Amino acid sequence: MKTNSNYDVIIIGAGAAGLSAALMLGRSLRSTLVLDTGTPRNRFAAGIHGVLGNDGTAPEDFLARGRSEVAGYGVQFGTAAAATVVATDAGITVTDTQGRHHAARRLVAATGISDELPPLPGLAAGWGTDVLHCPYCHGWEVRGQRLGILATSPMALHQAQLIRQWSDDVVLFSAGAGPIDDALTTTLASRDVVIDNRQVTGILRNDAGALTGVRMVDGGQRNLDALFTAGELHPQDAYLDGLGLTREQTPFGNFIAADPTGKTSHPRIWAAGNLVAPMANVPMSMSAGTMAGSMVNMDLVTEDFNHAAQQVHAA
């Protein structure tokens, strides 16, 4: 296989984790290629929150600034997605969706996850604005408003307690969570969380497109200002399928297993961000990318010294 380019490290994904890894590697004088298609998970939100120094910054502005900073250290960018990854004794070869082959000594996978939302009419139209998933990301913006939680699993019962912190007007649409025991019903009621076990069949919006409530299976309605829910999470890791990486079953699905530094079961491959930690927010993903980039550089440092020592001994 003829390669079009050779690098110390290839990073797949240019979100918070991938760019943070690239920043560390660029500053470590490592030749680095970042492949990314420009479709971050949080592109639907008006701003990112909980990120010190960047609270409220638009996701596209945050990432554009990050790319500019990273490029200043000589890191290169490609706009194609990764199609396949092949590991050999010599390193890693990535074939992108434009048919180009890129070789590297190490790989950092940081392509994140996608959200498959419940198939309710009107739900997807508000994703990231008035249909939300993370109260730490969006709770302040809807504080004190009429909030709903659309259950898609038993984890919504925990979410209902959490969201009560931001409003005293909270209703849990519990049909998707299954039966709720009496003890938990009492717990939720103790702080005035309303449980509605009817099936939600649609989202109500006004002429301006803003959410105004939900429609129930019996024809009734509930007035709301925002709705929290959790979609099915899909790790974007198909390009790694041929490597046989160890995976683990989590409450959020089946994910590639990685140690605290991001190292996977393959000695040349690290992973960071939502790809391996689906509940990580932006600063958590930045931290994971920083760790992965630093550890990849240290791994290469060790390899370089080992190779040099072998050359000395051979002479």
Report d(CA 298, CA 305) in Å as an integer: 11
At residue 6, φ and ψ (nearest 5 deg) are -130, 135
Domains of the chain, start order: 6-115+232-314 (3.50.50.60), 118-229 (3.50.50.60)
Pairing verdict, β 247-250 and 5-12: unpaired
Q: Which two tokens stand for residue 274?
A: 């939502």
Choose between 190 and 1: higher pLDDT. 190
Q: How far is CA 106 from the centre of its chain?
A: 22
Closest CA to 26 of 62, 64, 71: 71
What's the pTM value of the predicted model, to 2 decimals? 0.94
Query: Each residue of 146-159: pLDDT tens digit?
Result: 999 999 999 999 99
Query: Each residue of 236-248: pLDDT tens digit?
Result: 999 999 999 999 9
Distance of CA 263 to CAs 6, 15, 77, 103, Å? 22, 18, 23, 19
The predicted pLDDT at position 208 comes to 95
At residue 56, φ and ψ (nearest 5 deg) are 90, -5
The predicted pLDDT at position 28 comes to 99
- 310 pLDDT higher than 70: yes
The predicted pLDDT at position 2 comes to 60
At residue 203, φ and ψ (nearest 5 deg) are -105, 135
The predicted pLDDT at position 88 comes to 85
Q: For the chain, give the mean pLDDT.
A: 96
Instruction: Give percent of the chain with pLDDT exceeding 70.
Output: 99
Q: Are 63 and 110 a contacting pair, CB within 8 Å?
A: no
Report d(CA 176, CA 170) in Å as an integer: 17
What is the dihedral sign for C-alpha 261, 266, 267, 273? negative
Q: Are 11 and 110 a contacting pair, CB within 8 Å?
A: yes
Q: Which two tokens stand for residue 294?
A: 């630093």
Query: Each residue of 256-296: pLDDT tens digit?
Result: 999 999 999 999 999 999 999 999 999 999 999 999 999 99
Report d(CA 32, CA 296) in Å as an integer: 11
Distance of CA 51 to CAs 19, 60, 63, 143, 191, Å? 15, 14, 13, 19, 30
Closest CA to 272 of 262, 257, 282, 263: 262
Query: Each residue of 38-57: pLDDT tens digit?
Result: 999 999 999 999 999 999 99
The predicted pLDDT at position 3 comes to 64
Q: Are 233 and 253 a contacting pair, CB within 8 Å?
A: yes
Report d(CA 302, CA 267) in Å as an integer: 13
Could you list the beta-strand ranges (E) of the chain.
5-12, 32-35, 76-78, 82-87, 92-96, 101-109, 113-116, 131-132, 147-150, 170-173, 194-196, 200-205, 211-216, 221-223, 226-229, 232-235, 247-250, 253-256, 269-271
- 206 pLDDT higher than 70: yes
Instruction: Give percent of the chain with pLDDT exceeding 90.
Output: 95
Query: Each residue of 127-143: pLDDT tens digit?
Result: 999 999 999 999 999 99
Q: Which two tokens stand for residue 41?
A: 């998970």
Q: Are 311 and 149 a contacting pair, CB within 8 Å?
A: no
Query: Each residue of 44-96: pLDDT tens digit?
Result: 999 999 999 999 999 999 999 999 999 999 999 999 999 999 998 889 999 99
The predicted pLDDT at position 134 comes to 95
HSE of 297 in the Cβ direction (CA atoms, 13 Å)? 17
